[in-house]
């Protein structure tokens, strides 16, 4: 299985479709995943967990020494929102790095210490779902029209006019329409050609209304509807998961019911059968921030052991990516005291008991030289007009002018004389410029692999056989957790009904049999060593309380071989073979 240095690099480079330097289509994504699965069949599994209405597979990649095993799993996904294609590239980069770590153990895994890279190889399987919404992503990479998650709309009872994105001028893109309007709320920037700015009271005009490039459905010949990010794509996938789901209009974009969409349903159906997922990163864009639980309560009301762990991860986030980590409830609610409903991170944390978080890739504010506001959501809500001009100048000077474009006169079939063009925020605002992708991938991989190294690590060690009578033997072994996290993973998840305790079972072969008692012994949950790092006081170092290992014993009769198997849903199972007599 192991290869060496240059050969591995050249092999992986030959297989790459270039996802570290450009954004890939579904066809290219599929080709990349199949190439890895075919080149490394011992450590890579590729499966489709579902299919979209347009016939695209939801590809899941499993990477590990035992890719089909039940051991600890670290999960990463991306591209839940169609325009946020950088998440797919970062997920693919993590997958490639994980493969390299397995096939070339001598090669460094970024700056990860060698013992942690070895831990990942031995104990952790990486699951990668690079593109949750492939229909939407291909639409965005094609016509560039805005799609929140998927280009479909099956809403019932839409009797009012609404916008539907379309390429009106035939240039292969769907951008924006501006129309002179004395009641318009935008003006053209005098500093940066093409830039549209919110109208101020002192602006002399001309004034414009700005709409998405497209047509008005159910148009009555007069009413021009206000555009919405869900005008012609009904469901925001990140409002369609089952935890604390709420219907429209309480939660915009919720869909008709939780997991109404095939993509969200496929994820929930799969992961609800995978209690061994312990870590989960859901990649979005943009802003440069990690958003952690709890999303529905303050830190004071959150499980304090969970909070201590996230505060540890907050330090890593700043150190390895430059991104802060913030509470979803305290710094990322769009309306004060109104939590989001039905988001994936809340499902992963509260229902699946994982160390879950969202990462908003691409720290645009820092790149442009703007102050980063706190609470973090203010960065999207309270930017000044001069901030927008600064972003536009950065686009001109450092982004090849990808975002701010020219306007051209067009005769619109419904609105008459308008101008089309303007902003194309795909590469520069919503996502990093392609030439910056590689560094974003590296930053995130450095953080992800450290998160993955926190896995609980169950072992059966020090087996002993002691003669206690005529052909009678006491067989004993230590069941222990060598990992950072406890076998229940999170304190808040311990009460989940499927989070069963560690159990040890003895299985005998011909010639030896259990002489007394039960074959299965309940060990109970085992703490991880990380509790001491998170909770110990600096003035007086002491190991944290809690059980990290337990000795188990059986009495057997005869001579032969037996197996001691220990495990629980969260850690998977490990074994030790013992000879008796």
SS (H, E, C) 443-478: HHHHHHHHHHCCCCCEEEEEEEEEEEECCEEEEEEE
Q: Which residues of 464-475 are buried (b: 16+ CB within 10 A; e: fewer)?
A: eeeeeeeeebeb
Domains detected in the chain: 5-140+235-362+431-452 (3.40.630.10), 153-232+367-423 (no CATH), 458-580 (2.60.40.10)
C-alpha to C-alpha distance for 443 and 542, rounded to whole angstroms: 34
- Res 540: pLDDT: 66
Pairing of strands 73-78, 416-423: unpaired
* CA dihedral for 543, 356, 453, 571, sign (positive or negative): positive
Instruction: Give the pLDDT confidence of 500-523 residue by residue, as tens digits.
Output: 999 999 999 999 999 988 999 999
Q: Which residues of 128-152 are buried (b: 16+ CB within 10 A; e: fewer)?
A: bbbbbbbbbbbbbbebbbbbbbbbb
DSSP structural state of residue 349: I
C-alpha to C-alpha distance for 346 and 242, rounded to whole angstroms: 9
C-alpha to C-alpha distance for 39 and 165, rounded to whole angstroms: 41
C-alpha to C-alpha distance for 463 and 564, rounded to whole angstroms: 9
Residues with Cβ within 8 Å of residue 178, at least 6 apart in sequence: 186, 196, 208, 209, 210, 211, 407, 418, 419, 422
Provide the 10 A C-beta neighbour count for residue 69.
Answer: 14
Side by side, the strands of the sheet bearing 416-423 are: 196-198, 186-188, 208-212, 176-180, 416-423, 404-412
C-alpha to C-alpha distance for 542 and 353, rounded to whole angstroms: 28
Pairing of strands 325-327, 572-580: unpaired
C-alpha to C-alpha distance for 95 and 102, rounded to whole angstroms: 11
C-alpha to C-alpha distance for 485 and 545, rounded to whole angstroms: 14
For residue 375, cis peptide bond before it (omega within 30 degrees of 0): yes
Long-range contacts of 295-300 (CB under 8 A, 24+ apart): 295/328, 295/329, 295/332, 295/339, 295/340, 295/343, 295/345, 295/346, 296/244, 296/329, 296/339, 296/346, 297/329, 298/327, 298/329, 298/330, 299/327, 299/330
Q: Which of 343, 347, 355 is nearest to 270 (CA)?
A: 347
Place of tokens 């450009």: 22
C-alpha to C-alpha distance for 471 and 234, rounded to whole angstroms: 72
CA-based end-to-end distance of the chain: 36
C-alpha to C-alpha distance for 452 and 435, rounded to whole angstroms: 27
The packing angle between helices 26-39 and 86-103, to 10°, is 10
Beta bridge partners of 578: 562
DSSP structural state of residue 335: B
* pTM for this model (two decimals): 0.95
Pairing of strands 277-285, 73-78: parallel
- Res 423: pLDDT: 92
Q: Which of 359, 130, 165 is nearest to 263 (CA)?
A: 130
Q: Which of 23, 83, 16 is nearest to 434 (CA)?
A: 23
C-alpha to C-alpha distance for 178 and 187, rounded to whole angstroms: 10
Question: How deeply is 505 buried, as exposed, middle or buried, from its count of CB atoms within 10 A (0-12, 13-18, 19+)?
Answer: middle
For residue 232, cis peptide bond before it (omega within 30 degrees of 0): no
- Which residues in the chain show pLDDT less than 50? none
Classified as helix, coil or strand, 34 is helix
C-alpha to C-alpha distance for 59 and 67, rounded to whole angstroms: 15
CB 507, CB 519: distance < 8 Å: yes
Instruction: Give the pLDDT confidence of 36-93 residue by residue, as tens digits.
Output: 999 999 999 999 999 999 999 999 999 999 999 999 999 999 999 999 999 999 999 9
CB 115, CB 16: distance < 8 Å: no
CB 422, CB 4: distance < 8 Å: no
221 Rama sector, left if φ>0, alpha if ψ -120 to 50, beta otherwise: left
């Amino acid at each position: 299985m192991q290869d060496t240095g240059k050969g591995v690099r050249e092999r992986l480079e030959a297989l790459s479709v270039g996802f570290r330097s450009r954004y890939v289509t579904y066809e290219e994504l599929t080709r990349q995943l199949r190439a890895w699965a075919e080149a490394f069949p011992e450590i890579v599994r590729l499966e489709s967990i579902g299919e979209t209405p347009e016939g695209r597979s939801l590809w899941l990649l499993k990477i590990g020494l035992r890719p089909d095993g039940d051991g600890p799993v670290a999960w990463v996904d991306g591209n839940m929102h169609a325009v946020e294609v950088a998440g797919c590239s970062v997920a693919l980069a993590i997958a490639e790095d994980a493969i390299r770590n397995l096939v070339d153990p001598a090669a460094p895994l970024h700056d990860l210490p060698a013992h942690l890279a070895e831990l990942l190889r031995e104990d952790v399987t990486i699951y990668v779902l690079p593109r949750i919404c492939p229909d939407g992503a291909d639409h965005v990479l094609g016509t560039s029209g805005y799609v929140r998650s998927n280009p479909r709309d099956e809403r019932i009872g839409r009797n009012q006019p609404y916008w539907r994105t379309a390429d009106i001028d035939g240039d292969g893109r769907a951008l924006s329409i501006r129309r002179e309007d004395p009641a318009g709320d935008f003006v053209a920037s005098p500093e940066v050609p093409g830039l549209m700015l919110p109208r101020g009271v002192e602006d002399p005009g001309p004034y414009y209304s700005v709409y998405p490039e497209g047509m008005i459905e159910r148009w009555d010949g007069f009413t021009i509807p206000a555009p919405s990010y869900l005008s012609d794509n009904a469901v925001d996938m990140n409002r369609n998961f089952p935890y604390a789901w709420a219907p429209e209009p309480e939660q915009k974009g919720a869909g008709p019911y939780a997991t109404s969409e095939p993509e969200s349903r496929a994820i929930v159906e799969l992961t609800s059968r995978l209690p061994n997922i312990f870590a989960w990163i859901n990649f979005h864009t943009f802003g440069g921030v990690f958003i952690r639980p709890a999303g529905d309560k303050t830190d004071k009301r959150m499980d304090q052991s969970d909070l201590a762990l996230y505060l540890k991860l907050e330090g890593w986030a700043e150190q390895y990516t430059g991104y802060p980590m913030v509470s979803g409830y305290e710094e990322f609610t769009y309306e004060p005291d109104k939590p989001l409903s039905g988001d994936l991170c809340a499902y992963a944390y509260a229902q699946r008991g994982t160390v879950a978080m969202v990462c908003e890739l691409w720290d645009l504010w820092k790149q442009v030289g703007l102050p980063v506001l706190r609470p973090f959501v203010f960065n999207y809500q309270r930017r000044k007009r001069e901030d927008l001009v600064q972003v536009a100048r950065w686009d001109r000077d450092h982004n090849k002018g990808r975002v701010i474009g020219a306007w051209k006169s067009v005769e619109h079939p419904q609105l008459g004389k308008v101008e089309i063009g303007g902003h194309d925020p795909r590469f520069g605002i919503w996502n990093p410029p392609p030439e910056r992708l590689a560094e974003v991938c590296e930053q995130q991989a450095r953080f992800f692999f450290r998160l993955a190294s926190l896995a609980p690590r169950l072992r059966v060690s020090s087996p002993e056989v002691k003669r206690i009578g005529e052909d009678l033997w006491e067989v004993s072994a230590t069941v222990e957790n060598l990992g950072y996290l406890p076998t229940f993973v999170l304190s808040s998840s311990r009460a989940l009904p499927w989070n069963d305790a560690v159990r040890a079972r003895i299985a005998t072969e011909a010639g030896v049999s259990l002489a007394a008692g039960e074959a299965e012994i309940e060990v109970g949950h085992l703490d991880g060593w990380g509790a001491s790092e998170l909770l110990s006081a600096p003035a007086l170092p002491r190991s944290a309380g809690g059980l990290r290992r337990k000795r188990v014993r059986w009495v057997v009769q005869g001579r032969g071989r037996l197996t001691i198997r220990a495990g629980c849903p969260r850690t998977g199972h490990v074994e030790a073979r013992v000879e008796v007599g």
